Structure 1
Amino acid sequence: KRSAGGRGLLLGGVPGVQPARVVVLGGGVVGTQAARMAAGLGAEVTVIDRSIPRLRELDDLFIGRVRTRFSTIESVEEEVFNADVVIGAVLVPGASAPKLVTRAMLKSMRPGAVLVDVAIDQGGCFETSHSTTHTDPTYEVDGVVHYCVANMPGAVPVTSSQALNNATLPFGLMLAEKGFAAVLENPHLRDGLNVHRGRITNQAVAESLGLEFAPVESGLAA
């Protein structure tokens, strides 16, 4: 019988007992921090990414403490099937997250393994993901526990609010001072513009919704 009660493992193990195996899909900001936390707890950590330069940076950052692998169908399956915890941290800016773990793959995973879908805000990177809340955070599919809370930072609201404020306040002040002109002057605000005058100005958003993409310049000309 496949149990959804977890695997009963201490991530870092104890002397004489091997640690849990944690696989992180995606080596960006979220994936790197997830790997840092898991490695800090003593887990055996592998990060999978499709960017060789990024994998090289992670090797230098963790100095061999974290394994890195290039993303292929074979490497993802091999690591996921042997993992105790899989953290989905794949992000395509503005677009839906790719489904890297399918429903069929769950049957080959370890009973009680845990999937944590950090990409759930963009549809999730596991085929069986659906949004959950802090009140009822997990559910089970084929004996695999899914944690797909759509607002994970909400578990630490003070810290997350302060961090978000630090990152966004300069842009808010810029918009308050210059209005829409700030969007045209600042490349970060410009890249973050999704809709202008009823037109979708972000190509990834337009493609994911099957709608027409209109560069911001076309809206200004109109």
Structure 2
Amino acid sequence: MIIGCPKEIKNNENRVALTPGGAMALIKRGHTVYVQSSAGKGSGYSDEEYEAAGANILPTIEDVYAIAETIVKVKEPIEKEYSLVRDGQFLFTYFHFASSRPLTEAMLKSNSICLAYETVEDRNGKLPLLVPMSEVAGRMSIQNGAKFLEKPSGGLGILLGGVPGVKPAKVLILGGGVVGIQAAKMAAGLGANVILMDINLDRLRELENVLPANVTTVYSSEYNIRKELSTVDLIIGAVLIPGAKAPSLITRDMLSEMRDGAVIVDVAVDQGGCIETCKPTTHEDPTFVVDGIVHYCVANMPGAVPYTSTIALTNATLPYLMRIADHGWEKACADDPGLAKGLNVVKGEIVYGPVAEAFA
């Protein structure tokens, strides 16, 4: 199979979908790999390292799309790439279709096959290709939240962990999945008082047993969320419904119950956000203020730590990519129902229910 790895061109996206080691593994199995020049630079990999692994370097993104049967990426194609996607081409990346009608319509029009990392499932029904980036984003949500709580960044001027004689910040985490637990561990480790909410009581029981004493688990409801808003300093949106748009757990009117300078970090922004006032931002311009509340809604948060993120992502995606390359996407998906759940768009048709439902 001919596999192409283009350079990511989304704002400040420094990750790359394939490391030199990943390229070498594919080449040793008889496949041909093309990598766009400088695609790995942001993650610390030179063109020479890819060439030493046996990959071919192409100068432009157009060249990569034109020659490859399979395109492997980190983020969804952006508008500049829509016209490059070819009829029958296979794309393997994060898509988050439910949050973007233009992207969905463009991929339908292209007659390509789109397999989304975020909806692939393992035998236990978990999301193995979403987990590594969720782990990164969960930890980064606290780092960024702590930064934007600082006064020069527009925040309340509160140190997350406080100091002796001064109480720590209060952090509310909405969602007890991978993002939520990583955020809770980071916030608790820094000494904050943490409230973690979820609607799954079994999950709350599990978390109660493994998280530190300064994390309190609470059943998630509008009433319980509103009770916390007047005293909360930092909110982390960590809700996930696989492949579907996230529900709005905090609405515009609820912001008036919060203190000016409080911070919201919506990690669910890729799936439309779980805060009504959320809109995607970039690393270049990461925040905006609504009703006095600082919103951080960067849609590719792990792109800020590309060395860590690229290795973590490739560790998870490469085994799947090798199976797809060895057997073709149809047989690979037929042999693995969990991989087949990653299929979102196939030759002009939406084949994943939550995406179809998102657009009625």
Cα distance between partner residues in 2 of 1:80 and 1:191: 37
Letter in 2 for 1:200: I
Q: SS of the residue aligned with 1:119?
A: helix
Of the two structures, which has the highest relative contact order with CA contacts closer than 8 Å and spacing of 6 or more? Answer: 2
Q: Which amino acid aligns with 2:338?
A: H
Stretch of structure 1 that moved more, 77-86 or 25-34: 77-86
Residue 123 of structure 1 corresponds to which residue in structure 2?
Answer: 272
TM-score normalised according to structure 1 size: 0.90
Number of the residue aligned with 1:196? 346
* Aligned with residue 54 of structure 1, among 193, 203, 220: 203
Contact 2:334-2:340 at 8 Å conserved across structures: yes
What's the CA shift for 1:63? 4.6
Partner of 2:318: 169
**Cα separation, 1, equivalents of 2:337 and 2:206:** 25
Partner of 2:305: 156
Q: Secondary structure at the match of 2:341?
A: helix
Q: Bigger shift: 137-146 or 74-83?
A: 74-83
2:250 corresponds in structure 1 to 101
Superposed displacement of residue 125, structure 1? 0.8
**Distance in 1 between residues matched to 2:230 and 2:320, nearest whole Å:** 43
Note the alpha carbon deviations across 1:11-31, whole angstroms, 9 max, x for none.
Answer: 000011100000000000011
Q: Which runs of 5+ in 2 are unaligned?
A: 1-150
CA displacement, residues 111-160 of structure 1 (integer Å, 9 cap, x when unaligned) = 11000000111111111111111111111010000000111001101101
Alpha-carbon distance in 2 for matches of 1:79, 1:181: 50
1:81-130 deviation digits (Å, cap 9, x = unpaired): 32100000001111111011111011110111000000111111111111
Equivalences, count: 208
**1:183 matched residue in structure 2:** 333
Q: CA deviation at 1:187?
A: 2.6
Question: 3-state SS of the aligned residue for 1:161?
Answer: helix
Cα distance in 1 for residues equivalent to 2:314 and 2:299: 19
Write out per-residue CA displacement over residues 142-179 of structure 1, whole angstroms, 9 at most, x where no aligned residue: 00000001110011011011111011111000101111
Check conservation: 2:283, 2:304, Cα contact below 8 A.
Answer: yes
State the SS of the aligned residue for 1:14: coil
Measured in 2, the distance between the counterparts of 1:56 and 1:191 equals: 29
Distance between the aligned counterparts of 1:40 and 1:63, measured in 2? 8
- C-alpha distance in structure 2 between counterparts of 1:19 and 1:90, whole Å: 25
How far does residue 79 in structure 1 lie from its aligned partner after superposition?
2.1
Deviates more, 1:63-72 or 1:119-128: 63-72
3-state SS in 2 of match to 1:92? coil
- Give the distance between the partners of 2:313 and 2:229, measured in 1 at CA: 32
**2:42: which partner in 1?**
none
* d(CA) in 2 for partners of 1:80, 1:163: 35
* Pairing partner for 1:28 from 155, 158, 177: 177
Paired position in structure 2 for 1:84: 233
